[in-house]
Amino acid sequence: MGLIVQKFGGTSVGDVTKIKHVATRVIEEAEKGNDVVVVVSAMGKTTDKLVGMANEITASPSKREMDMLLTTGEQVTISLLTLALIEEGHQAVSYTGWQAGMQTESVHGNARILHIETEKIEQRLQEGKIVVVAGFQGMDEAGEITTLGRGGSDTTAVALAAALKADRCDIYTDVTGVFTTDPRYIKEARKLLSVSYDEMLELANLGAGVLHPRAVEFAKNYHIPLVVRSSMERESGTIIEEEATMEENLIVRGIAFEDRITRVTLHGISRSLGILSTIFTTLAKNHINVDIIIQSMTAEQTTNLSFSIKSDDVEETIQVLEKNRAELEFERIETEEGLAKVSIVGSGMVSNPGVAAEMFEVMANTGIQVRMVSTSEIKVSTVINEKEMVKAVEALHTAFRLGNPAEARV
């Protein structure tokens, strides 16, 4: 007997029929003798519909009021799922994020979980009840409702698993596991049996949408075994653990990609020692995530600074930079949109030199120009033209022979 946290995404609870199906999966786990905590997202396209209604009213909605609006989606799901569990003869209770003790920082739209008061959930589990918790939401110190940003329900589930010292956290989704790349774009993509925390964290940060990076961080920091599996199909999923024991020695384990990337260049910045710190501290204070960074000297002995951001953040980034122009000491801003990021990830890259060179050779042979590059011990990321994104992924997936485990580079 153990404690299992299950998470079901929006597609898994898209209508009442699917919610009833989810209830059967929850009951199966409970009838094995396990205590079960279930985290759910809003039904299907509910969040998109709510955002659409808000945009019909205003082009610049208040972030606080958007949190008030969007958290209603999960509240519908937790109530319906709990009713389905009760109807099947099981004791169950639902809680919103704040009722479940989810305490967050005071950032509307993208808050981080600071602490979870687990007493209420633990008490209900001791009473033999299944506890259903709304993902994606919490409450700050002032009692304001907050949301956790994209993939927030994953984060809720893993954070609860850590706080409750769960034996396992199962992430149920519309795919059967973690693939070598997105199978919606690359038909040769195959499911991986296991992935290490570090590899999954890189893949998630680099655009793989199957798990949110914060969720992987929680799992790694608290050693929570994660299983990504299908909510509809009865097959084994992908285990995310400290070391990927089931597929050892693969040099490249996966390819992540992300469109809607913009390159921002600050021309003529000051050459003072502290200017880089000032620029990126200013952006960080405004919750703007910067990715790949390149600094270059020009023939005129001035310095240019380029960095990549998500295209959705362009307008806010420019506003922040212009507002602080005097302090940041730059001459002008230039942006280049229509870009994408393509990355290869694999723990085997640590002990195998030449992988980056092979990646660049594949890009060159495919006629793709690389605009920016970033590396770590287990990944190489490139920024390229968005129109060439899928072509690049296909070429790399083939070059590293990821479609067939018997042929993959080891």
Q: What is the pLDDT of residue 150?
A: 82
pTM: 0.86
Q: Which range marks the domain in which residue 85 is found?
A: 3-174
Within a domain: 383: no
Of 297, 8, 7, nearest in space to 159 by CA: 7
Task: Tell me which H or E stretch contains 133.
Answer: strand 130-134
Name the H helices within 7-62: 16-30, 46-57
Within a domain: 388: no
Distance CA(341)–CA(188), nearest Å, equals 20
Within a domain: 410: no
Q: What is the pLDDT of residue 410?
A: 40
CA 288, 294, 299, 303 torsion-angle sign: positive
Within a domain: 134: yes
Within a domain: 156: yes
Residue written as token pair 């992924």? 393
Within a domain: 111: yes
CB distance 213 to 201 below 8 Å: yes
- Pairing status of strand 303-310 against strand 293-297: antiparallel
CB distance 135 to 156 below 8 Å: yes
Q: What is the pLDDT of residue 270?
A: 84
Residue-by-residue pLDDT tens, the chain, 410 positions: 799 999 999 999 999 999 999 999 999 999 999 999 999 999 999 999 999 999 999 999 999 999 999 999 999 999 999 999 999 999 999 999 999 999 999 999 999 999 999 999 999 999 999 999 999 999 999 999 999 998 899 999 999 999 999 999 999 998 899 999 999 999 999 999 999 999 999 999 998 888 989 899 999 999 999 999 999 898 899 999 988 665 556 789 999 999 999 999 999 998 888 999 999 999 999 989 999 999 988 766 679 999 999 999 999 999 999 999 999 989 999 999 999 999 999 988 988 889 999 999 999 999 999 999 999 999 999 999 999 999 999 999 999 999 876 544 44
136: CATH:
3.40.1160.10
- Report the amino acid identity of residue 357: A
Helices 46-57 and 63-87: crossing angle, nearest 10°?
150
Number of domains in the chain: 1
Name the H helices within 184-274: 197-205, 213-222
Q: What is the pLDDT of residue 287?
A: 87
Within a domain: 409: no
CA 333, 334, 336, 341 torsion-angle sign: negative
Within a domain: 56: yes
